[in-house]
Structure formats: C-alpha cells, structure tokens
Chains A and B, each alone.
Chain A
Amino acid sequence: NAGVTQTPKFQVLKTGQSMTLQCAQDMNHNSMYWYRQDPGMGLRLIYYSASEGTTDKGEVPNGYNVSRLNKREFSLRLESAAPSQTSVYFCASSEIGYSNTEAFFGQGTRLTVV
C-alpha cells in the first residue's frame, strides 16, 4: 500500500525559481491538503481540495497555487520561490474531509530556497 506519495523528497531552489510539488494518493480519498511545517509553528494549511474539481485557500496561501488534477493527484506550485518558503511540505488526504475522518500524510518534501 503506497498511501500518499510525494515527490520530490528534497529540493534546493534559487530565489525566483519555480517548481511544482507532486502528490498522489491511492486510497480513493475525496479530500486532499497541502501543509507547511516550520519550527515552532506546527503544521499550517496552505490549500485544500474538499473534492475533485474544487480548491480553497487555507491559512497561508500567498505565494502558492494548486491544481487538483484528478481524484488521485493534487499538486502545489511555487511560481517565484522566496527564502521565506523554505520549509517542510506535507501532502495529506482524507476520505470525506476533516470533520470526522483521519488524515493520511505523505513523507514530506524538504524545500530550501537560497
């Protein structure tokens, strides 16, 4: 069982470069999420997709865009990377949204912007 798969695992970008973080789940979940994790800040929601075809902003969406490509895949794009976006990024999925179901997390992408 693969669960939630994120690529890449590590990435170093120069300021101003763009990149896309990929996420795929094989559990037939409806909802998918992107979080960033910074020391002392916990996990903060960037964007989420309650179901295929919908996306919504979370707590910290500035500087990011997302695409729910299909039910399995949810990508996160940094158009012009900034040092403040250095973080660990987690993708997660859940069956029908967070209210009463657990979320499954990918292994994370460690991004450094220099």
Chain B
Amino acid sequence: QQPVQSPQAVILREGEDAVINCSSSKALYSVHWYRQKHGEAPVFLMILLKGGEQKGHDKISASFNEKKQQSSLYLTASQLSYSGTYFCGTVTNTGNQFYFGTGTSLTVIP
C-alpha cells in the first residue's frame, strides 16, 4: 500500500522549478507532504483532504487528483533551502493507516 513517488531524485539550479508526483493503487482520503533534510526529522509541509484541492505554502504548492489517486508537489523558483528528501504520505478511504512513499531526493545547486 506504499505510494510510489517519482522521480526518485532530481537536481535543480537555483530558480528552476520541479514537480514531484505521488501515486497510489488505492482510493485516497488524504495526502500529506513532508520534507526531511539530511540527518534531521521529517517536517510537515501540507495536507490535502479533498479531491481537486490545491494548497500553497510560500513557493511550494500541491494538488490532489482524487480520480487519478495521485498528488503532485510543485516547487517554483527553487532556493538552496529547498534541498532535502520529500515524502508523500497517504491515507486510503478504506483504512486508518498512513503510508509514506519512498521519497524524492531534491538537490538545489547555485
């Protein structure tokens, strides 16, 4: 039930944009996004609760396509501080458990 993330890794120059995708094989109730910097704990970014919901957080935003059972995280005009590993987490309609994806490593270089 672990969601699948793509790409596994991406390298950006400062100011470039990136999209990280998260797909589930099951119908979803909610999608969460976290960021983890090397050697640190994951930190919450946002939750999307409804199909079609989009949320923004500074220059980081996300969408949730309930029909396609997927979510995308958009990072625009990337900054060095955006570097880290991004995880989606999903709660399915049928279960109470929460599953993290395998993560996407994002590196922003000057």
Contacts and interface: CB of A to CB of B under 8 A. Distances in A.
A interface bracket (residues with beta carbon within 8 Å of B): 20 to 34
A59 B99 CA distance: 9
Interface string B3-31: 00000000000000000000000000110
A42 B87 contact: yes
B2 interface: yes
A101 B91 CA distance: 11
Contacts of A97: 96
A40 B99 CA distance: 15
A44 B89 CA distance: 11
A78 interface: no
A58 interface: yes
B42 A105 contact: yes
Interface stretch (B65-73, B75-83, B100-108): B100-108
Interface of B: 2, 29-30, 32, 40-44, 47, 49, 87, 89, 91, 96-103
